[in-house]
Amino acid sequence: MKTRKSRIFGEFDESEYSNNLQIITKFPEKWILIDTENSRVYKGTKNKKLKKIWNEILDKRILKKIQNIISDKIKY
């Protein structure tokens, strides 16, 4: 079994099977997905095709806005 490493949550054994993660929403564009293994960030879309449900966010201005939102949620 292969071990995978999340930059946030540590190491885990890769599952033998694929898992389906689902969000049921009328506004998919408001959702973001952060891959903690490779630090890629994705935005939800209305596209129904499996490989098109999430679009990677590459715009540094948008990534900075996301970073600021997350930073604002942290209470020290």
Q: How far is CA 2 from CA 5, 27, 30, 31, 76, in A?
A: 10, 35, 33, 29, 36
Strand order in the sheet with 32-34: 32-34, 41-44, 54-56
Q: What is the pLDDT along the chain (76 residues), one digit of tens a residue?
A: 899 999 999 999 999 999 989 999 999 999 999 999 999 999 999 999 988 999 999 999 999 999 999 998 887 6
pLDDT the model gives residue 76: 64
